[in-house]
């Protein structure tokens, strides 16, 4: 099993000032450049440390928000491609559904792949709902725009005999001929996030790695749909390497220390939805079925379904660690407890090959983050080698 350290690079000092919104309309006067410089360099240092500990690196980007100050995946990935030697570097993701220029994305990712000598994994995502307004994108067309951008990026990376023309509904180019081309051939591995079972089929059709996150029941339904699609296509069952899961991780010498760490990381979950209501769910962005489900729960704002494995609803603002563990939102406790939680989750979803572990978030300090990452890599990671689904496991 591969493990990837992830942080959204939050600017948490703004959270403490209790602004009404942390996305889209939060004035950047809340950002102090001197403090921001310390935080951004700190996050880079924590990522770079993973190379010595046997962990991989996951990077993402968001815009117009204090929850993530990474302006582009390409920026930290280029730094890390130079600072590290062995680890894989994953962007999950590059929001090509809202990016203006897919050809530039193809060039930047190819450059990073060459710089790292073939250690890039590229996660291509639609873009978060609150970023529709800043990007000035029609929310009803963001999904077809995403797939067209995807097709263009892959064609740009795999065409080596000179310029080609592209005339699509969303993008038009007369001469596409990227330099450099990727180090990995025909292109770096592709990941795509899945937020509901209906999103699994087009990802499975292309044989890409699929990533779910933060909720066990949701992940199981998405992974099951992906496997079912492979069966419909007459393919052999997908390997565990095709499945990734995003989860918060807090680990300590005692259960209390592990739980305390994950409570601080949970600050990310408690703040990510603090957004002016007008920007949360733009009309046409989410599938109709998703919005219907939210209305049935009496929640017009929510897009995610947050429940424990036994179908009890939870709220991140007041859920305690045991409920979050039961929901699959976090793995937390001592190294033994975290390993057992991973093994149990592994059985529950039918197996998966990648943990995308948020080991820093909220107000977790640098010292605590280093301890968190180091303890996981030394006490849990070696035990995950060859983890397989128990033959006695049953669906819950």
> Could you read off the pLDDT of 18-28 as tens digits, one per residue?
889 999 999 99
Neighbour tally for 255: CB within 10 Å: 15
Characterize 136-170 residue by residue with b for buried, 16 or more Cβ atoms within 10 angstroms of its Cβ, and e for exposed: ebebeebbebbebbbebbbebbeeeeeeeebeeeb
Q: In sequence order, what DSSP letters do the residues of 154-191 get, joined into one string?
A: HHHHH--SS-EEEE-SS-EEEEE--SSPPSSSS---EE
In this structure, the strands spanning 354-358 and 2-6 are: parallel
Tell me the pLDDT of the chain averaged across its residues: 92
**Cα dihedral sign for 354, 96, 59, 284?**
negative
Q: Nearest 10 degrees: CA dihedral of 291, 246, 307, 10?
A: -80
Region 81-110: mean pLDDT is: 96
pLDDT band at residue 304, thresholds of 50, 70 and 90?
very low
Region 216-243: mean pLDDT is: 96
Q: What is the pLDDT of residue 273?
A: 86
Instruction: For residue 126, give every residue at least 6 positions away whose Cβ sits within 8 Å of its Cβ, in sequence order, or none.
Output: 95, 96, 97, 98, 142, 143, 146, 193
DSSP 236: P
Answer whether residue 295 shows pLDDT above 90.
Answer: no
Answer whether residue 393 shows pLDDT above 80.
Answer: no
Listed range (84-93, 132-141, 161-170) with the worst mean pLDDT: 132-141
Answer whether residue 302 shows pLDDT above 50.
Answer: no
Q: What is the pLDDT of residue 289?
A: 67
Backbone torsions φ then ψ of 294, nearest 5 degrees: -65, -40
Instruction: For residue 257, give every residue at least 6 positions away whose Cβ sits within 8 Å of its Cβ, in sequence order, or none.
Output: none
Verify cis geometry, omega within 30 degrees of 0, for the bond prior to 249: no
Residue pair 66/6 in contact by the 8 Å Cβ criterion: no
**What phi-psi label fits residue 248: left (phi over 0), alpha (psi between -120 and 50 degrees) or beta?**
beta
pTM: 0.92
Instruction: For residue 306, give every residue at least 6 positions away whose Cβ sits within 8 Å of its Cβ, in sequence order, or none.
Output: 214, 215, 313, 314, 315, 316, 327, 329
Answer whether residue 292 shows pLDDT above 80.
Answer: no
Alpha-carbon span 150 to 140, nearest angstrom: 17
Q: What is the pLDDT of residue 394?
A: 45
Region 53-78: mean pLDDT is: 96
Query: Is the pLDDT higher at 297 or at 383?
Result: 383
Region 175-195: mean pLDDT is: 96
Answer whether residue 391 shows pLDDT above 70.
Answer: no
Alpha-carbon span 225 to 247, nearest angstrom: 20
CA distances from 69 to 39, 40, 61, 72, 214 (A): 10, 8, 8, 9, 21
Listed range (42-46, 277-281, 354-358, 383-387) with the worst mean pLDDT: 277-281
Region 72-93: mean pLDDT is: 96
pLDDT band at residue 13, thresholds of 50, 70 and 90?
very high
Alpha-carbon span 242 to 304, nearest angstrom: 23
Backbone torsions φ then ψ of 153, nearest 5 degrees: -60, -45
Query: Is the pLDDT higher at 362 or at 45?
Result: 45
Answer whether residue 317 shows pLDDT above 90.
Answer: no
The percent of residues above 90 in pLDDT, for the chain, comes to 80
Neighbour tally for 297: CB within 10 Å: 13
DSSP 121: E
Please name which of 130, 171, 129 lies closest in space to residue 147, comparing C-alpha atoms. 171
Q: What is the pLDDT of residue 83?
A: 96
User: What digits encode the pLDDT tens for the residues 251-264?
Assistant: 999 999 999 999 99
Q: What is the pLDDT of residue 291?
A: 62
Q: What is the pLDDT of residue 293?
A: 62
Instruction: For residue 218, give every residue at least 6 positions away whose Cβ sits within 8 Å of its Cβ, in sequence order, or none.
Output: 195, 196, 212, 304, 305
Answer whether residue 303 shows pLDDT above 90.
Answer: no
Alpha-carbon span 257 to 58, nearest angstrom: 25
Neighbour tally for 315: CB within 10 Å: 11
């Amino acid at each position: 099993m591969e493990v990837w350290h992830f942080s959204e690079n939050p600017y948490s000092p703004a959270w403490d000032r209790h602004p009404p919104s942390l996305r889209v309309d939060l004035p950047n006067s809340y950002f102090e450049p001197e403090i921001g410089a310390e935080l951004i360099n700190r996050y880079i240092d924590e990522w770079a440390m993973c190379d010595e500990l046997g962990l991989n690196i996951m990077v993402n980007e968001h815009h117009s928000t204090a929850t993530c100050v990474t302006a582009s995946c390409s920026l930290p990935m280029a730094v890390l491609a130079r600072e590290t030697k062995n680890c894989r570097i994953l962007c999950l993701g590059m929001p090509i559904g809202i990016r203006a220029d897919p050809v530039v994305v193809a060039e930047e990712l190819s450059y990073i792949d060459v710089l790292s000598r073939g250690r890039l994994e590229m996660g291509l995502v639609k873009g978060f709902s609150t970023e529709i307004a800043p990007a000035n994108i029609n929310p009803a067309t963001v999904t077809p725009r995403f797939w067209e951008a995807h097709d263009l990026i892959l064609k740009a990376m795999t065409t080596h005999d000179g310029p080609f023309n592209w005339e699509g509904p969303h993008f038009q180019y007369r001469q596409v001929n990227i330099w450099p081309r990727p180090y990995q051939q025909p292109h770096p591995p592709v990941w795509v996030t899945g937020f509901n079972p209906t999103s699994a089929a087009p990802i499975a059709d292309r044989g890409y790695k699929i990533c779910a996150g933060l909720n066990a029941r949701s992940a199981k339904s998405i992974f099951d749909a992906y496997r079912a699609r492979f069966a419909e296509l007459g393919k052999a069952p997908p390997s565990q390497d095709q499945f990734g899961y995003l989860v918060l991780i807090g680990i300590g010498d005692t259960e209390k220390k592990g739980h305390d760490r994950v409570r601080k990381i949970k600050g990310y979950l408690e703040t990510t939805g603090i957004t002016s209501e007008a920007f949360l769910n733009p009309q046409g962005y989410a599938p109709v079925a998703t919005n219907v489900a939210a209305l049935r729960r009496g929640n017009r704002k929510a897009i995610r379904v947050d429940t424990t494995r036994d179908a009890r609803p939870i709220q991140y603002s007041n859920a305690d660690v045991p409920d979050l563990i039961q929901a699959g939102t976090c793995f937390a406790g001592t190294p033994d407890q975290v390993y057992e939680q991973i093994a149990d989750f592994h059985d529950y979803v039918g197996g998966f090959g990648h943990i995308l572990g948020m080991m820093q978030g909220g107000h977790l300090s640098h010292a605590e983050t280093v301890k968190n990452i180091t303890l996981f890599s030394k006490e849990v990671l070696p035990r995950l080698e060859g983890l397989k689904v128990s033959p006695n496991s049953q669906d819950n």
